Amino acid sequence: MPVADYTTYCRMIDRALAGRFAYPAINVTSMTTASAVLKGLAESKSDGIIQVSTGGGAFASGSAVKEMALGAIAIAEYVHRMAERYPVYVALHTDHCQADKLDQFVNPLIAETERRRGEGRPNLFNSHMFDGSALPLKENLDIAVALLRRCRQSEIILEIEAGVVGGEEDGVKGGGPSEKLYTTPADMCEVARRLNEISGARYLFAATFGNVHGVYKPGTVKLKPSILKDGQDAVTKAFGPAARFALVFHGGSGSSLEEIREALDYGVVKMNIDTDTQYAFTRPIADHMFRSYDGVLKVDGEVGNKKAYDPRNYLAAAEKAMAERVRQAVRDLRGENTTLFK
């Protein structure tokens, strides 16, 4: 099925919010990792989200080019072609983009969609994330409002974040005062007030409740999903049930299934997954190298074994393992057999 259009993407979000399930949003950096996501979603009969970060886009463009927007465009165009072969819907999204990278990443990608729409072609990306969490809330929302107005014109959904996700992703470290790891009800109400003034626009909101990027042993990360409930209750009281957020869960590695499911009950419809799928992809490659050491290397003047060092062999195993981790994510998020595709 083709990449979801705006109407379908909105239906996906609304259905997840009503049904208390969420879509895995998997970061990809190549055709192989994108194929792994499509495979895992299709085998789970779940729609989902493929996303590209600034670092992922730069990597995808090659070490001689390192242009984050160009790499993201290349991955998106691949997904647009390949998604037609899978019986599920997939949305294309860009992950964390800080204010100082907007002109290198999100703005050029919005411009590319605007150009495509002018030619009668579908959007390149369905949604983009602006991460202004390191800024004072007013400055964060001033930029977000301007971006959302522009996105609305091209049927693009904007994701924003208030509160800081700890840890590190793509070389960007979160942190600061510990209280910043928890978005307050007052902050959530201010987000709703500012963004809901833009009639007809759709957005996703990454509120923080102790989230930390990276990988941790179970029990290390101290999440407080009840913060999401408190914020949703405050927004509903102030602006009515229609203002209830479609929330995004960042930094979920090491979270217990109980914590994940509780967050779904409070309005999470999208959960970002990167660290765990990176490991799932790399693990079989490491296994292959250890088991085939004398085949992948030309040791002591020998010629090695071409079948062992052909990247297609170990990358196929990596794709399969990553697809299985995507299937686990779908199960954790109550998403099996929920596709809108008929």
Q: Where are the domains of the chain?
A: 6-332
Q: What per-residue confidence (pLDDT) applies to 170?
A: 52
- pLDDT per residue over 200-245, tens digit each? 999 999 998 887 756 555 555 578 899 999 999 999 999 999 999 9
DSSP reduced 3-state for 204: strand
Q: Which residue has the higher pLDDT, 224 or 9?
A: 9
Rounded distance between C-alpha atoms, residue 70 and residue 105, angstroms: 9
Of 95, 170, 230, 332, catalytic: 95
Contact 228, 267 (CB under 8 A): yes
Q: Place 177 in a pLDDT band, splitting at 50, 70 and 90.
A: very low
Angle among Cα 213, 31, 205 to the nearest 5 degrees reads 35
Q: What per-residue confidence (pLDDT) applies to 2?
A: 81
Q: Place 265 in a pLDDT band, splitting at 50, 70 and 90.
A: very high
Rounded distance between C-alpha atoms, residue 107 and residue 114, angstroms: 10
Neighbouring C-beta atoms of residue 273, cutoff 10 Å: 26
Q: What per-residue confidence (pLDDT) applies to 222?
A: 72
Q: Annotated catalytic, 95?
A: yes
- DSSP string covering 43-91, please? HHT--EEEEE-HHHHHHHT-TTT--HHHHHHHHHHHHHHHGGGSSS-EE
| Poorest-pLDDT segment among 71-75, 88-92, 105-109, 177-181 | 177-181
| Poorest-pLDDT segment among 69-73, 251-255, 336-340 | 251-255
- pLDDT per residue over 327-339, tens digit each? 999 999 999 999 9
**DSSP conformational letter for 251:** -
Q: What per-residue confidence (pLDDT) applies to 182?
A: 85
For domain 6-332, say whether CATH 3.20.20.70 is its number.
yes
Strands (E), the chain: 23-27, 48-52, 90-94, 127-130, 157-162, 168-169, 172-173, 203-207, 247-249, 268-273
- pLDDT per residue over 23-41, tens digit each? 999 999 999 999 999 999 9
Tokens of 207: 């509120």
